[in-house]
Amino acid sequence: MALISSIYARRIGVLASAAALAALTSLVSAPTAQASPPTPISAAAARSYLATVTPKAEGSTSGYSRALFPHWSTVSGTCNTRETVLKRDGVNVVQDSACAAVSGSWYSEYDGATWTAASDLDIDHVVPLAEAWRSGANSWTTSKRGQFANDLTRPQLIAVTDNVNQAKGDLDPGKWLPPRTAYRCTYARMWVQVKQYWALSMDSGEKAALVDVLNGC
């Protein structure tokens, strides 16, 4: 009887150890919190779409105003789109009662810089608002332009170094690409997905630059 009890006790001990190891493995392999925009379409999918695109001359900025693309909209409670992106793209981000980021760390994919103050970051519209206007958004309703300017579902918004975003301005990939070359493939995939989803046109220089980048992905 004592022998049976001893064997049973050892078996329970082995099972408990195995369960503990499984739990530890689960913790180690658990995915980290997302600190980037939604994953864009693959390079192959982006190339396939570009193959169907007939370039179109870019329109005018006549009548354009950022006010025609209302942002930042409320996402929930006191949190607007900007603060939501700062929280998503950062690490250990702490927000106050007004949802403003008061601490955290942000890695700017465009230039490889790391920041610990939210004031050093801009939320970039991957496809700039003025570029969208020239590519077809001039015919949209203000409501639709607001949806575009606050699009969290597509890879359209990203927290980056403020002066790098300002250097980009409203330029398309034919005239500007992230200075950090390792991110250009991802950036091109992001750009193509946003333009495809929102049915925005591309000019010849823009398309050629995207094809060139994606062929190297």
DSSP string across 28-95: HHSPPPP-SSPPPPPHHHHHHHHTT---------TT--GGGS--PPEEETTEEHHHHHHHHHEEEEEE
As averages over each run of 10 residues, the pLDDT of the chain (217 residues) reads 39 37 32 69 98 97 97 96 97 96 97 97 98 98 98 98 98 98 98 98 98 97
pTM value? Answer: 0.84
Instruction: For the chain, give the longest Cα–Cα distance.
Output: 93
What pLDDT does 83 receive?
97
Give per-residue pLDDT as tens, 21-45. 333 333 233 333 446 899 999 999 9
Contact of 180 with 161, CB cutoff 8 Å: no
In the chain, the amino acid numbered 46 is: A
What pLDDT does 35 receive?
67
Q: Which residue has the tokens 């630059």?
A: 209
Q: Which residue has the tokens 């094809």?
A: 211
